[in-house]
Amino acid sequence: MAPHPGGAVCTLGRVSFLRAFHGRPGLGRLLAVRLSSQVTDGLFQAALGGAILFNPERHADPLAVAGGLAVLLLPYSVIGPFAGALLDHWDRRTVLIWANIARAFLIGAVAASIAVGAPDTVVLIAALVVTGASRFVASGLSAALPHVVDREALVGMNAFFTTIGSGALAVGAGLAIGLRAVFGSDNSGSAATTLGAVVIALLGAFLAVGFAHLALGPDHPDTEGAPVSAAHPRGPAMRAVAVGLIHGARAVARARGVSGALTAIGAHRLVFGLNTLMLLVLTRHSTLGGGIAGVGLVAAMTAIGMFFAAILTPISVARWGRRTTLYVALSVGVVAELTLLTFNGIVICAAALVLGLIGQMAKLCGDAAMQMDTDDAVRGQVFSFQDAIFNVAYVAAVTVAALVIADNGHSPGLPAAGAVIYLVALVAVRAVYSPRRRFADDPAAHRAAAESAAGPSNPDCPRSAQVSATPSASASITTPSN
């Protein structure tokens, strides 16, 4: 059989999942940990009932929505890049175990605060801490994936993990609805429902125990007796935490593929923030049927777009590369945003599908870039840095929109601004990529590198050097960083 035409990034359609999982039990276990983590998130979030922050019928004031999102997301966005440094120094298996145990304990604290009728502020603060722990687990899972899957299958496997993870979130929400029907909707019933997430989080910790020591990286862990000096007064990990944001930013700047993808992701999150607040206000004026039903309809269309992204992104990256995929996604985003100027409910739903598609394509390209184009020694910090961009851009956009949006939500300036943001991002992403360089996402470069590294042993999907088997940046990146 001829070598895979997409080079070092195979599509899921051409790589059997049974073959991908065969002989790599760590991949199946990591998927199980991820599924348990996302079921926990879905159950916990739904158990809170959309509560204090995400109920558009409860927040009549757009500024209140922006304030609530800022309280929930920004603190972790500041702390995350520093805490992410621990993922690059401590055994990620150990981090996943204890982070899940800590999350279970914190969810229990939220349940207790609900049971005793604590004020919304107390519940919110507790939920904030749970969210931080959840994102820490998510960053650890993403940083660990290259250690359990071949490099050429990373894009496809990211797409598969993301899609099935979205389904796990829905399963968690469904479990919450079922438990609420059993226990009731009062404080004690809500607390009992929330405790269901504790069980799933502990299951995730139990599954993570099955990994071997350092099976998930990092390649250069801190060991007992690490040197202490004036430059590292409390050991390498503590110093890395202190400068985590800087290290993450530097790693992003050094990898052009990562810089380009995060530029696209940040732009999409800005636009998504503008659209989110506009949607919440429009639904109160029956543009989409009103209330939660309207929000749910648009959310469902966005989810469908994300599902299609999981199918199309591996194909696009294999055929045209990450760079071209990002160009096309941002260009389509410009058109989709301009259609929102009609303020027509059907058009808004169609645009939500398209924007969900292109946003997830950018996210999958970003995940692949961070996993393939950054050294394992800083990968946790890079993923946490992405989280910071993800959340800060979103909250900033919601806040700005809250200050300028019309009372009925009909503010043509918001979708127009979204189209401009996509255009600016398109120019910026093109500027990041130098035409004088040959990039790792070039299919021809993938082909040459993969065939050179693989030999004839795997004709279906040429193997480049596995990230999990390479302790250094030079060994883990088989082609120039894009």
pLDDT tens per residue, range 414-443: 999 999 999 999 999 999 876 544 444 444
Per the CB < 8 A criterion, the answer to whether 52 and 160 are in contact is no
- Cα separation, 61 vs 169, whole angstroms: 28
Asked whether the beta carbons of 326 and 239 are under 8 A apart, the reply is no
* Size of the chain, expressed as the number of residues it contains: 482
With CA atoms as reference, report the closest residue to 15 among 113, 159, 163: 159
Nearest to 14 by CA among 2, 26, 30, 31: 2
The top-level CATH class assigned to 17-219+251-476 is: mainly alpha
168-182, 235-249, 367-381: which has the minimum mean pLDDT?
Answer: 235-249
| Residue closest to 240 by CA, chosen among 87, 48, 452 | 87
Please report which residue ranges of 145-230 form alpha helices under DSSP H.
154-183, 187-209
Give pLDDT tens digits for 137-149: 887 888 888 888 8
Q: Work out the number of other CB atoms within 10 angstroms of the CB of residue 194.
A: 30
Q: What angle do CA 314, 318, 319 make, to 5 degrees?
A: 120
**Any idea where the domains of the chain sit in the sequence?**
17-219+251-476
Q: What is the pLDDT of residues 281-302, one digit of tens each?
A: 787 665 555 555 666 678 788 8
pLDDT value of residue 69: 63
DSSP one-letter code for 350: H
**What is the pLDDT at residue 239?**
61
d(CA 51, CA 333): 31
Confidence check: pLDDT of 404 > 70 = yes
Assess contact for 215 and 86: CB atoms under 8 A.
no
The H or E element spanning position 418 is: helix 413-432
Which pLDDT does position 407 carry in this prediction? Answer: 79
Which of 34-38, 344-348, 454-458 has the least mean pLDDT?
454-458
Q: How far is CA 164 from CA 170, 340, 383, in A?
A: 10, 30, 20
Q: Which residue has the higher pLDDT, 87 or 353?
A: 353
**With pLDDT > 90 as the criterion, what percentage of the chain qualifies?**
22
CA–CA gap between residue 157 and residue 164 (Å, rounded): 10
Q: What is the rounded CA–CA span in Å between residue 281 and residue 269? A: 19
| Degrees to nearest 5, angle at CA 72 with 67 and 74 | 85
Which sign, positive or negative, has the C-alpha torsion 384, 388, 389, 390? Answer: positive
Question: pTM of the entire structure?
Answer: 0.66
pLDDT at 448 over 50: no
Please indicate whether residue 473 or residue 100 has the higher confidence score (pLDDT): 100
- What span, in angstroms and rounded, lies between the C-alpha atoms of 293 and 276? 15
